[in-house]
Amino acid sequence: MSEGEDSVETRLKKAVRGYRRATQARIELHEAIKAAAAGGKTPKQITFLIDHEYDVAHVSRIIHGKVGGKRKPPAKD
């Protein structure tokens, strides 16, 4: 971890605070969750760190890329 970089826990706490304030911060929270998982945290630990904003099953789905996929293109006439 470099000098200006936050720890995984700090990044999650900041992301969840932003998520509660602005809906656009959802992507940032999801990225923080994925980074925490890559750092060795379990979905249960991550759920605790984000103050149960998402439940364990939803955190697990975010980690495995099942949430927030591509949108369906509009149907062509």
Nearest CA-CA partner of 13 in 59, 48, 64, 42: 48
Question: How does pLDDT run across 18-52, given as a tens digit for each residue?
Answer: 877 776 688 889 999 999 999 999 999 999 999 88
Answer yes or no: are the C-beta atoms of 18 and 28 closer than 8 Å: yes
pLDDT at 68 over 80: no
Tell the residue number behind the tokens 């630990």, with chain if given: 45
